[in-house]
Amino acid sequence: QVRLVESGGGLVQAGGSLRLSCAASGSISSISVMGWYRQAPGKQRELVATITVGGLKNYGDSAKDRFTISRDNARNTVYLQMKSLKPEDTAVYYCNLKNWGITLRTYDDSWGQGTQVTVSS
Average pLDDT over all residues of the chain = 95
Beta pairing partners, 52: 33
Distances (CA, A) of 85 to 5, 46, 63, 66, 102: 23, 17, 10, 8, 38
CA–CA dist 6, 12 (Å, integer): 17
Query: Model confidence over 32-46: pLDDT tens digits?
Result: 999 999 999 999 999
Query: pLDDT category, 64, cuts 50, 70, 90?
Result: confident
Using only C-alpha atoms, the chain has a radius of gyration, in whole angstroms, of 14
Q: b/e for 73-89, b at 16 or more Cβ within 10 A?
A: eeebbbbbebeebeeeb
Checking if the pLDDT of 4 tops 90, the result is: yes
Cα angle, residue 94 at apex, residues 28 and 26 outer, rounded to 5°: 20
Predicted local confidence at residue 1, as pLDDT = 84
Output phi, psi for 89, to 5 deg: -80, -10
Query: pLDDT category, 72, cuts 50, 70, 90?
Result: very high
